[in-house]
């Protein structure tokens, strides 16, 4: 029976899952502070590459567990990689998994990873470096929101023919790619199967098994028209009418000057009797034989390859990206041969912090909304006070300065006192 237990697995991950007998080729959770810099190499191929910073971001589920490396610097290329003991996935399942958090809701840029052969010079890794596998989300504008699955085969890179949509919000998401020895693949997002299929069918690695028989042509008398025009249908005699007619109700303006304006002509209006081009009605074709299907034969150039899934020298994982808006956090990297181990690892990492992360983000958003509403009320009150002062000043200007009658009142009081005496 398959079982799980908890134990320490080295400096990168103090707590992880182990199934019956999984092989973990690479694991990185960035929980040991600045030590991650000893394991990851920043490329020097360009002098102006963007940088990476260890952070859990402005919102998170756990401030320590959610720490990852974040892209820093807008409109930049990024290139960083980490090396591990080389291996071959021959005869084994290969699982690539990691989390991506587009904290600033990326508008154009990549969030994918690449697996390289161990021969790669990490200090000179670039977009030109040959890789084995490229996998993960890529977003640009409204038209590009997909998950890349690109596999290297015999000197060429091939993309999956299916369109796999990625997540586009600002939360952390778990991406998983599974390649199996039976030539099947599976893509999971947040531990839920999103797409799957056969490598040979969903990629153009090989020429097709079947081709159209070049010796067979469509018979000349084959009628594949389902509908035809009714030969008995006749156009009505009154059908043809002009599209526009003279407006007989129009009258020449009284101020029309023929010498200045030329000869007056009544305007044209749309003809209510106009019916457009006449077409005979459609009827079922009595000679219809259906859609002709070109017979197929075995492709003489087809040769099966049962090792499409296999890579012999996997030794480096890297981020080779372009981002217009930076701020993406990468975390919880895992390369293993065990699908169930990867799923449970995802549940114990991303799965434990995703809900608290969402709650913190919602709380931040509510606070920001309240702050904006408060600022709006303050501006409205200031506007009201300003308008009130403006109206008072306008009234004083219209009525003139207020009269000071205090002197007259004092004189009146003195006369009143003398009378009493």
Residue ranges at the known binding site for Ca(2+) = 29, 65, 67, 331
Q: In the chain, how long is the greatest CA-to-CA distance? A: 142
What does the block give as tokens for 14? 């103090």
Closest residue by Cα to residue 282 from 202, 346, 200, 226: 226
What does the block give as tokens for 98? 């990691």
CA distance 95 to 111: 18
DSSP symbols for 3-33: --EEE---SS-SSEEE-SS--EEEEE---SG
> Rg of the Cα trace of the chain?
38
Contact indicator for 118, 338 with CB cutoff of 8 Å: no
Structure-token match 């506007």, residue found = 383
Residues annotated within the binding site for an alpha-D-glucoside are 112, 114, 131, 138, 320
Residue 208 gets which letter from DSSP? -
Contact indicator for 104, 341 with CB cutoff of 8 Å: no
CA distance 207 to 302: 6
Q: Please state whether beta strands 68-72 and 51-55 pair in parallel, antiparallel, or not at all (unpaired).
A: antiparallel
CA distance 220 to 264: 61
Residues annotated within the binding site are 29, 65, 67, 112, 114, 131, 138, 320, 331
């Amino acid at each position: 029976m398959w079982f799980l237990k908890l134990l320490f697995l080295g400096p990168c991950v103090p707590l992880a899952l182990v199934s019956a007998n999984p092989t973990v080729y690479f694991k990185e959770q960035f929980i040991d502070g600045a030590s991650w810099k000893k394991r990851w190499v920043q490329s020097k191929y360009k002098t102006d590459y963007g940088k990476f910073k260890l952070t859990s971001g402005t919102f998170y589920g756990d401030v320590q567990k959610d720490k990852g490396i974040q892209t820093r610097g807008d409109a930049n290329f990024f290139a960083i990689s980490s090396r591990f003991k080389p291996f071959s996935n021959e005869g084994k399942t290969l699982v690539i998994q990691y989390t991506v958090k587009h904290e600033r809701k990326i508008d154009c840029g990549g969030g994918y990873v690449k697996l390289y052969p161990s021969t790669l010079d990490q200090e000179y890794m670039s977009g030109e470096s040959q890789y084995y596998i490229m996998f993960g989300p890529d977003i640009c504008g409204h038209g590009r929101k997909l998950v890349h699955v690109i596999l290297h085969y015999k000197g060429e890179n091939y993309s999956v023919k299916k369109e796999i949509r990625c997540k586009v919000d600002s939360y952390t998401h778990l991406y998983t790619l599974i390649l199996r020895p039976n030539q099947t693949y599976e893509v999971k997002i947040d531990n839920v199967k999103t797409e799957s299929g056969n490598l040979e069918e969903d990629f153009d690695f090989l020429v097709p098994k079947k081709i159209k028989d070049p010796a067979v042509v469509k018979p000349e008398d084959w009628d594949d028209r389902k509908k035809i025009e009714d030969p008995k249908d006749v156009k009505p005699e009154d059908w043809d009418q002009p599209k526009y007619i003279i407006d007989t109700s129009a009258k020449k303006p009284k101020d029309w000057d023929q010498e200045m304006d030329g000869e007056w002509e009544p305007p044209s209006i749309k003809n209510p009797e106009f019916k457009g081009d006449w077409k005979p009605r459609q009827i079922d074709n009595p000679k219809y034989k259906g859609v002709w299907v070109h017979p197929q034969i075995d492709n003489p150039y087809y040769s099966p390859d049962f090792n499409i899934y296999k890579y012999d020298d996997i030794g480096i994982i890297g981020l080779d990206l372009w981002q217009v808006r930076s701020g993406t956090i990468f975390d919880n990297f895992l390369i293993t041969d065990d699908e169930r181990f990867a799923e449970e690892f995802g549940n114990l990492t991303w799965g434990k912090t995703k809900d608290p992360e969402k709650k913190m983000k919602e709380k931040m958003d509510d606070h920001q909304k309240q702050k904006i509403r408060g600022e709006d009320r303050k501006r409205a009150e200031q506007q009201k006070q300003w308008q009130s002062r403006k109206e008072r000043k306008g009234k004083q200007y219209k009525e003139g300065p207020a009269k000071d009658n205090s002197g007259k009142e004092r004189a009146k009081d003195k006369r009143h006192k003398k009378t009493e005496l």
